Amino acid sequence: MNKIKIFSPATVSNVACGFDILGFPIESLGDEMTISKSKNIGVRITKVEGYPVPIDSQKNVATVSAEKLIQDLKPNCGFDIEIKKNIIPGSGIGSSGSNAAGSVFGINKLLGDPLTTKQLIKYAMIGEGISSLSEHPDNVAPALLGGLIMVKSVEEENIISLPIPNDLFCFVINPKIEVKTSYSREILPSKIELSSMTKQVANFGALVHALHTSNYDLLRLSLVDNVIEKHRKKLIPSFDKVKNKCIELGALGCSISGSGPSIFAITKGKDDAIKIDIEVKKIYKETNIDFSTYVSKISSDGIKIIDSI
């Protein structure tokens, strides 16, 4: 194989109580990347279409994660990367994660899969570090693996695919304002109250149990973020209005997607997600901020190969 074209999905990360450890892909939104073998050693961005991202290989998340992979695998060729960027940078739905994961996935395939997909996570995280100043796994892991993924740490046994009850859908609104992940992390306190920690751990444990038992009542009680949301919501216009509407319309939970400004809600069934979509659009139209919305299954698909030669 000399050339591969892939679809690398957008992702919702944190998922309320899973800060930096939990995420899932959205079905219909993602970037396309074409990666080709080259006689020239090293890795380059040769084309970017759609939303702008750096071409400089020291600054692009795709090349930074790929460089590290290449250092370890030492292939006898280089790689050219083209990106069709559909996910807006700074949107909170894994824009950088999509490319950091896509490049290492594509290169690993072109080299005949020397590493497992789980082993690629630590390389993709290095790319994340460039754009957000933090090497978090909660976007790149679900982008690579698909499904609701919990990353305890990067060793394979600590990367856990959680069950997704059949009826779970998500609604996402992406207000078209940029919130840089680095800034959204900077405003977080470095220490938290013991009581907040207790609540967050209890919610996360209950969430995992609810997923294993398809217990929607318990899901509703546990999709809660006691630590992060209160600090970041001020960066997101009409956050409280949107959240209240989602809960009023039956959402099991609603919080900030990743570092924002996107907001997600989880619903039981597609109908509630569609109702939420209609009403939240009305709220956001009043803000005069451009936005997109998505209604999707909690996708069990990660990166997909579109074509290869």
Q: Of these, 7, 8, 10, 14, which contacts ligand HSE (CB under 6 A)?
A: 14
What are the angstrom distances between the C-alpha of 138 and each of 61, 147, 226, 239?
Answer: 15, 12, 18, 22
Catalytic residue among 181, 229, 267, 293: 181
Kindly indicate which of the ranges 30-38, 49-57, 167-175, 181-189 contains the residues binding ligand HSE, using the contact rule CB under 6 A. 181-189
Structural contact between residues 30 and 50, judged by C-beta atoms closer than 8 angstroms? no
Q: Of these, 13, 34, 174, 203, which contacts ligand HSE (CB under 6 A)?
A: 13
Catalytic residue among 128, 229, 267, 293: 128
Q: Which is nearer to ligand HSE, 13 or 222 (CB)?
A: 13
Q: Of these, 136, 233, 245, 297, which contacts ligand HSE (CB under 6 A)?
A: 136
> Could you tell me the two tokens for 264?
């997600």
Nearest to 13 by CA among 263, 264, 257, 298: 257
- We find the least distance from the C-beta atom of residue 40 to ligand HSE, in angstroms, to be 32
Query: In sequence order, what E strands does 112-167 have?
Result: 148-151, 159-162
HSE value, Cβ hemisphere, 13 Å, CA-based, for 4: 21
Catalytic-residue membership of 198:
no
Strand 159-162 and strand 3-13: pairing?
Answer: unpaired
Packing angle, helices 95-110 and 117-132, rounded to 10: 140
Q: Of these, 31, 32, 67, 138, which contacts ligand HSE (CB under 6 A)?
A: 138
* Contacts of ligand HSE in 237-296 (CB under 6 A): 258-259
Kindly indicate which of the ranges 32-40, 131-139, 146-154, 293-301 contains the residues binding ligand HSE, using the contact rule CB under 6 A. 131-139
Catalytic-residue membership of 128:
yes
HSE value, Cβ hemisphere, 13 Å, CA-based, for 44: 12
- We find the least distance from the C-beta atom of residue 59 to ligand HSE, in angstroms, to be 18
Interaction between residue 8 and ligand HSE (CB under 6 A):
no
Structural contact between residues 157 and 121, judged by C-beta atoms closer than 8 angstroms? no
> Could you tell me the two tokens for 17?
């109580």
> Could you tell me the two tokens for 1?
């194989």
Kindly indicate which of the ranges 33-41, 72-80, 136-144, 241-249 contains the residues binding ligand HSE, using the contact rule CB under 6 A. 136-144
Q: Of all residues in this chain, which one has the CB nearest to ligand HSE in the complex?
A: 258
Interaction between residue 181 and ligand HSE (CB under 6 A):
yes
- We find the least distance from the C-beta atom of residue 90 to ligand HSE, in angstroms, to be 10
Signed CA dihedral, 113, 117, 122, 127: sign only: positive
Interaction between residue 180 and ligand HSE (CB under 6 A):
no
Q: Of these, 20, 80, 82, 167, which contacts ligand HSE (CB under 6 A)?
A: 20
- We find the least distance from the C-beta atom of residue 118 to ligand HSE, in angstroms, to be 19
Buried b or exposed e, range 9-37, using 16+ CB within 10 angstroms: bbbbbbbbbbbbbbbbbbbebbbbbbbbb
Q: What are the residues binding ligand HSE (CB under 6 A)?
A: 13-14, 19-20, 132, 136, 138-139, 181, 184-185, 258-259
- What residues are labeled active site? 128, 181
